[in-house]
Structure 1
């Protein structure tokens, strides 16, 4: 399953976030595959798209950075997945 991960750095965490990222490269825990990650210019915020089959791996990722970042993690659908869901809805007569 794919997830959208939005993060924001805590106001006092900039130095610690930089240090940890430079030390670890922002590696994902076992069971989480990074598909892409983008960082905002001039702030401790960004977005990543990740894939995991186990919610425990996603929890581990959030816990790895939870002392420095707030995270909003949501399941994600591809266009194809959403199209299939919309097609079923339309076929059932729902508009």
Structure 2
């Protein structure tokens, strides 16, 4: 399953959150992915506004929520949405249209 994670860092927490994120390495990212059972597809940042979006692949919503617990606690607002790639979206749309 693919999930889109959108975040916005609370204004008063930007420097603390930037410090935590900035101190992480690619190896840290890989360890977090392995520990929580998901794969990051991509992550994009709007640093000036303290916002961003990531797409992750996981077998369950629990895996995604487990990972996101490390960024809660008043640091940011998070939105999690299950999403589809083009092939899956076309399959759903074509299946629906076939019943019409």
TM-score above 0.5, yes or no: yes
**Which runs of 5 or more structure 2 residues have no equivalent in the other structure?**
none
1:59 corresponds to 2:28:
no
Shift of 1:7: 0.3
Tell me the TM-score normalised to structure 2 length: 0.84
RMSD: 1.5
Aligned to 1:70: 77
Aligned to 2:98: 91
Q: Which runs of 4+ in 1 moved over 4 A?
A: none
Shift of 1:59: 1.1
**CA–CA distance in structure 2, aligned partners of residues 88 and 80 of structure 1:** 12
**CA–CA distance in structure 1, aligned partners of residues 60 and 94 of structure 2:** 28
Go from structure 1 to structure 2 and tell me whether the alpha carbon gap of 1:23 and 1:41 turns closer, same or farther (over 3 Å shift).
closer
**Which runs of 5 or more structure 1 residues have no equivalent in the other structure?**
none
Go from structure 1 to structure 2 and tell me whether the alpha carbon gap of 1:54 and 1:44 turns closer, same or farther (over 3 Å shift).
same
1:28-71 CA distance string (max 9 Å, x none)? 44212111000014121010000111222111122110121111
